[in-house]
Amino acid sequence: MLERKIEIKGINPLELFGVNNTKLKHIKTYFPKLKVISRGNIVSITGDEEVMDQFEAKFDLLVRHFHKFNTLTDRNIENLMQEDGAKLLATEKTLGVIVHGNHGAKITARTINQRNLVELVDKNDMVFAVGPAGTGKTYTAVALAVRALKAKEVKRIILTRPAVEAGESLGFLPGDLKEKLDPYLMPLYDALRDMIPAEKLAYMIEFGVIEIAPLAFMRGRTLDKAFVILDEAQNTTTMQMKMFLTRMGMTAKFVVTGDMSQVDLPRRQKSGLVFALDALEKVEGIGVIRMGSVDVMRHGLVKKIITAFDSAEEQNTTGFKNEGEK
């Protein structure tokens, strides 16, 4: 067993590691085979040479991040500990900001996979973004759509979802069709409200610059000069997915998002998203990004819940999955 000492320069170790070394303890979880001890501005590591090399490389990223932004959160640690954490640090200010939202708020790509989604949309006219709840698939896609509209790259934004009930009955809700469906489409409205002032958003929706509608409303149309997002795509049938994808006009951008763990289709009905990912796997010009629990941006418990459910699914494959996924 070898030992090395790393000197922390220009940073108060208390600010870097947190009270009672809480952040250092978080860092140590990524290197269970190393013995890591902090005394003042010296970090001692003991273990195999190869693992110590890995620790030093990652520790250097963490220190550089702190020097650059004067902060180091648990989320920063998780992102930088990923395989391409160096890329995240290098692109922090260039790829990070997608669009400026209300009151000058910066809408950013906050994880490596969100940044990968931005890059894929820039390079491809059709992109599939698949992953669990809270990974920012839809929010990032909406931000990219607003960016494209502001830059006059498209003339309109179209946001759509399949009208599949997730255990509740929409039919008993009061009001006309739009009033029944608006609550179901609320996540799309919520994202837009962060990025466009309320009055301007209402105007855009009234005059069709932004359209939010159920998937059935896409049938028979050609969607051109538009940034089009199909959300909750795991709840499309194969025919619905084919119908949607073939609506693509000459100068359109299509982003399809979905979560394969939340399929609400009838039993034995295969998800159109599963079918499309298999069928289009080798089609040039289509990008695919698969997000995971590391990208979850909600309460810290959400990531743990997703991990626990994934583990349970592996042990009991019939417990949660839609049969169309097998």
* Cα gap 73→214, rounded to integer Å: 39
Q: Which CATH architecture has domain 96-325?
A: 3-Layer(aba) Sandwich (3.40)
Contact 136, 295 (CB under 8 A): yes
Give the DSSP per-residue string, 199-216. HHHHHHHHTTSEEEEEGG
Overall residue count recorded for the chain in this entry: 326
C-alpha distances in Å from residue 250, one per residue of 20, 121, 128, 212: 58, 16, 19, 21
Q: Other C-beta atoms within 10 Å of 155: how many? A: 14
pLDDT for the residue 69: 72
Q: Which two tokens stand for residue 153?
A: 């790259």
Q: How far out from the chain centre does Cα 212 lie? A: 20
Look at the alpha carbons of 214, 219, 221, 224 in this order and tell me if their dihedral is positive or negative.
positive
Answer CATH for 2-89 from 3.30.1370.10, 3.20.20.80, 1.20.1050.10, 1.20.1290.10: 3.30.1370.10
The one-digit pLDDT tens for each residue of the chain (326 residues) are 788 999 888 888 888 888 888 889 989 998 998 999 988 889 999 999 888 888 888 888 888 888 777 778 877 787 778 755 555 555 444 446 788 888 778 888 878 888 889 999 999 999 999 998 888 899 999 999 999 999 899 999 999 988 765 444 445 445 555 565 666 678 888 889 999 998 999 999 999 999 988 888 899 999 999 999 999 999 999 999 999 999 999 889 999 999 988 888 887 888 999 999 999 988 999 999 998 877 776 666 776 787 788 778 777 754 444 544 44
Contact 110, 101 (CB under 8 A): no
Contact 128, 289 (CB under 8 A): yes
N- to C-terminal Cα separation, the chain:
46
- Statement: the pTM of the whole predicted model exceeds 0.75: no
Q: Other C-beta atoms within 10 Å of 219: how many? A: 10
pLDDT for the residue 255: 97
pLDDT for the residue 260: 87
Sheet holding 286-290, edge to edge: 210-214, 156-161, 226-230, 253-258, 126-130, 286-290
C-alpha distances in Å from residue 60, one per residue of 7, 34, 54, 66, 311: 11, 16, 10, 10, 33
* Residue 248 DSSP label: B
- Domain positions in the chain are 2-89, 96-325
pLDDT for the residue 94: 45
* Alpha helix stretches (DSSP H) within the chain: 13-17, 22-28, 49-69, 74-80, 85-90, 112-123, 137-150, 177-181, 186-195, 198-206, 238-245, 272-279, 300-315
